[in-house]
């Protein structure tokens, strides 16, 4: 098999609106289901599953006709869920080749994959098709695959192949393989279909056997094009599309949901799909954003992050559950959408005798529980701001570094400074503009040594103007107790405060 020769795989998913809705509703797959579209009372069946078709239900049936069949589940068509499923299928196909052409029609998903030269990566075409079908099964989608060196031949053979089946056309056998297929696999106009019906032409083999000149004389150039299609000889300029990799899932609920446990059941199914799609690209989930569409046209957003990107579904369920418990939606939920940010799955290799780090999954859940108690902005790592203001720091989200920094061990002991939060107001007696004595927590201290003052100020351009006069003192009580402390005078309000102790 030549590496440079053309080779195409056509992936076809029938009843796409029904499969897009049932993909996230596993409890309904064993029941007859129909998808309705249109406004009442003019609703019609747009798609249905195999069990509904076995009952005798067909497309374009009205809601009244469907109600005559027992135990039929009626779903409403969702363009959002179809778009997210279409993106998931294009991503799945993109794992086997970067050249993909989307040929989807209303109610049918169809894409053509250029798999020429992929033998060294995925093996023979039959092996590639089996792996692609396994990916579709993981996405809860039933499709069929046809492989040919002619793009149109692959599409027509896929239209005549049952679901979950694979057909491969050998080199030079296109006409023979396409011959038994009915003319319905071609996109015929009503006039062309009527003409072939009058001639008794009902298969591609009969159409391919017609003489070319006589067919052109009666039908023009369209007759030549149809004959080339039937023989698998129609050339085509491949026009690949570049699907955007976006980890999104959306599900519209059949009835409003108010219980958090019911919402978590839906989120669990959607997370499973997101993790499958991320794992196919050797990625993990770094953050998950849940968007809830509520009654009265309102929305609710929540975002959770893990210390390290992970594909552990239970971790994400726990984080979402704790986040929604702390910030519950204020109305009944009509639709759920999940969007994940992908992250690298790289890990840090520790030394043979290095201590084992704590599991980041426990850290994530612990931090989420603490945030639920004290608030989102009060949990994390302190970071110093670019200012000299007292308590000039912010709390940043905690994250585990990818590399371990070497610990700096001081050669000599360093004094520790213990901040008082909030700072305590005290009374200070001055002598020559320097602190002489002060009363703190009921005790009288006489200053032995005073270092300062250090003047600081900032934010003069805003209403939050501040200015401090700082003193470091060594003071002693009458009983001999020594106190090393830091006093600050607020020059804006002219009051003294005890802000820190030195150990």
Per the CB < 8 A criterion, the answer to whether 118 and 100 are in contact is no
Same domain, 54 and 135: yes
**Is residue 196 assigned to a domain?**
no
Same domain, 390 and 423: no
Looking at residues 101-115, what average pLDDT do you find? 93
**Is residue 237 assigned to a domain?**
no
Task: Summarize pLDDT for 145-199 with one digit per residue, the tens.
Answer: 999 999 999 999 999 999 999 999 998 899 999 999 999 999 899 999 999 999 9
Q: What is the pLDDT of residue 434?
A: 92
Same domain, 53 and 174: yes
Per the CB < 8 A criterion, the answer to whether 302 and 290 are in contact is yes
Looking at residues 74-102, what average pLDDT do you find? 93
CATH number at residue 31: 3.40.1170.60
Classified as helix, coil or strand, 381 is: strand
Same domain, 386 and 433: no
> How many beta carbons lie within 10 A of that of residue 342, not counting itself?
19
**Is residue 410 assigned to a domain?**
no
**Is residue 254 assigned to a domain?**
yes
Domain that holds residue 161: 8-179
Same domain, 378 and 497: no
Of 69, 72, 65, the closest CA to residue 33 belongs to 72
Per the CB < 8 A criterion, the answer to whether 73 and 25 are in contact is no
Least confident segment among 173-177, 270-274, 390-394, 416-420: 390-394
Least confident segment among 211-220, 380-389, 477-486: 380-389
Least confident segment among 26-40, 279-293, 352-366: 352-366
Q: What is the pLDDT of residue 405?
A: 41
What distance in Å separates the CA atoms of residue 185 and residue 448, rounded to the nearest whole number? Answer: 100
Of 251, 355, 298, the closest CA to residue 23 belongs to 251
Same domain, 43 and 108: yes
| 386: pLDDT strictly greater than 80 | no
Please indicate whether residue 312 or residue 412 has the higher confidence score (pLDDT).
Answer: 312
- Return the biggest CA–CA distance within the chain: 123
Same domain, 159 and 80: yes
Q: What is the pLDDT of residue 346?
A: 59
Cα–Cα–Cα angle for 58, 60, 65, rounded to 5 degrees: 70
| 369: pLDDT strictly greater than 90 | no
Q: What is the pLDDT of residue 4?
A: 45
| 269: pLDDT strictly greater than 80 | yes
Last residue of one domain, picked from the residues 179, 199, 228: 179
H-helix or E-strand spanning residue 424: strand 417-431
Cα–Cα–Cα angle for 192, 107, 294, rounded to 5 degrees: 155
Least confident segment among 108-112, 156-160, 460-464: 460-464
The one-character DSSP state at 16 is H
**Is residue 311 assigned to a domain?**
yes
Same domain, 19 and 168: yes
Same domain, 278 and 384: yes
**Is residue 218 assigned to a domain?**
no
Same domain, 377 and 463: no
Q: What is the pLDDT of residue 388?
A: 66
Q: What is the pLDDT of residue 380?
A: 78
3-state SS of the chain: helix, strand, coil percent to 5?
30, 30, 35
Q: What is the pLDDT of residue 403?
A: 45
Q: Residue 109 class from Cβ within 10 Å (0-12 exposed, 13-18 middle, 19+ buried)? A: buried
Q: What is the pLDDT of residue 406?
A: 40
Of 419, 400, 276, the closest CA to residue 346 belongs to 400
Last residue of one domain, picked from the residues 161, 179, 197: 179
**Is residue 191 assigned to a domain?**
no
pLDDT band at 272 (very low <50, low <70, confident <90, very high): very high
Count of alpha carbons within 13 Å of 45, Cβ hemisphere only? 24
Please indicate whether residue 113 or residue 394 has the higher confidence score (pLDDT).
Answer: 113
Q: What percent of the chain has pLDDT over 90?
A: 66
Q: What is the pLDDT of residue 243?
A: 75
Q: What is the mean pLDDT of the chain?
A: 88
Per the CB < 8 A criterion, the answer to whether 71 and 92 are in contact is no
Global pTM?
0.72
Q: What is the pLDDT of residue 351?
A: 64
Looking at residues 65-75, what average pLDDT do you find? 92
Looking at residues 113-135, what average pLDDT do you find? 94
pLDDT band at 480 (very low <50, low <70, confident <90, very high): confident
* Alpha helices, DSSP H, located in 236-379: 260-280, 313-326, 360-374
pLDDT band at 491 (very low <50, low <70, confident <90, very high): confident
Same domain, 444 and 494: yes
What distance in Å separates the CA atoms of residue 440 and residue 418, rounded to the nearest whole number? Answer: 16
The CA-based dihedral angle spanning residues 268, 270, 274, 280, taken in that order and rounded to the nearest 10 degrees: 90
Same domain, 422 and 390: no
Last residue of one domain, picked from the residues 403, 435, 470: 403
> How many beta carbons lie within 10 A of that of residue 359, not counting itself?
11
**Is residue 214 assigned to a domain?**
no
| 409: pLDDT strictly greater than 60 | no
Looking at residues 444-448, what average pLDDT do you find? 93
Question: Over 28-50, what HEC string results?
Answer: HCCCCEEEEECCCCCCEEEEECH
Q: Which of 229-243, 334-348, 393-407 has the highest mean pLDDT?
A: 229-243
The number of folded domains in the chain is 3
């Amino acid at each position: 098999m030549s590496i440079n020769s053309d080779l195409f795989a056509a992936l076809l998913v029938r009843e796409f609106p029904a499969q897009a809705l049932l993909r996230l509703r596993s409890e309904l797959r064993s029941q007859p289901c129909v998808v309705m579209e249109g406004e009442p009372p003019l609703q019609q069946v747009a798609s249905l599953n195999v069990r509904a078709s076995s009952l005798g239900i067909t497309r374009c049936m009205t809601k009244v006709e469907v109600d005559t069949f027992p135990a039929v589940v009626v779903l409403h068509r969702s363009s959002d869920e179809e778009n997210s499923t279409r993106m998931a299928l294009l991503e799945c196909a993109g794992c086997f080749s970067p050249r993909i052409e989307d040929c989807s029609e209303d109610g049918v998903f169809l894409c053509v994959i250029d798999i020429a030269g992929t033998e060294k990566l995925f093996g023979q075409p039959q092996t590639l098709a089996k792996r692609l079908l396994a990916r579709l099964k993981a996405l809860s989608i039933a499709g069929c695959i046809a492989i040919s060196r002619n793009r149109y031949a692959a599409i027509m053979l896929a239209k005549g192949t049952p679901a979950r089946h694979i057909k491969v056309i050998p080199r030079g056998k296109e006409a023979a393989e396409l011959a038994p297929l009915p003319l319905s696999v071609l996109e015929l106009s009503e006039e062309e279909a009527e003409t072939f019906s009058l001639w008794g032409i009902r298969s591609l083999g009969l159409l391919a056997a017609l003489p070319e000149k006589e067919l052109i004389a009666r039908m023009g150039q369209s007759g030549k094009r149809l004959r080339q299609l039937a023989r698998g000889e129609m050339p085509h300029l491949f026009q690949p599309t570049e699907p955007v990799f976006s980890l999104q899932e959306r599900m519209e609920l059949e009835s409003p949901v108010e219980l958090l446990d019911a919402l978590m059941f839906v989120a669990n199914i959607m997370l499973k799909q997101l993790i499958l799609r991320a794992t196919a690209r050797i990625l993990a989930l770094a953050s998950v954003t849940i968007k809830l569409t509520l009654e009265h046209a309102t929305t609710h957003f929540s975002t959770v992050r893990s210390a390290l990107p992970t594909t552990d579904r239970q971790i994400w369920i726990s984080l979402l559950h704790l986040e929604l418990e702390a910030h519950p939606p204020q109305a009944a939920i009509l639709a759920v959408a999940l969007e994940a940010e992908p992250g690298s799955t790289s890990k840090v290799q520790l030394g043979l005798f290095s201590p084992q780090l704590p599991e980041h999954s426990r850290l994530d859940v612990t931090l989420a529980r603490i945030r639920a108690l004290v608030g989102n902005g009060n949990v994390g790592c302190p970071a110093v701001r670019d200012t000299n203001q007292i308590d000039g720091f912010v709390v940043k989200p905690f994250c585990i570094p990818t590399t371990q920094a070497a610990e700096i061990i001081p050669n000599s002991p360093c004094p520790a400074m213990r901040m008082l939060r909030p700072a305590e107001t005290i009374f200070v007696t001055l002598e020559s503009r320097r602190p002489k004595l002060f009363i703190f927590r009921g005790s009288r201290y006489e200053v032995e040594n005073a270092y300062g003052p250090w003047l600081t100020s900032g934010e003069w351009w805003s209403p939050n103007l501040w200015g401090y006069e700082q003193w470091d003192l060594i003071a002693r009580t009458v009983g001999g107790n020594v106190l090393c402390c830091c006093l600050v005078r607020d020059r804006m309000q002219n009051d003294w405060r005890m802000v820190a102790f030195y150990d």
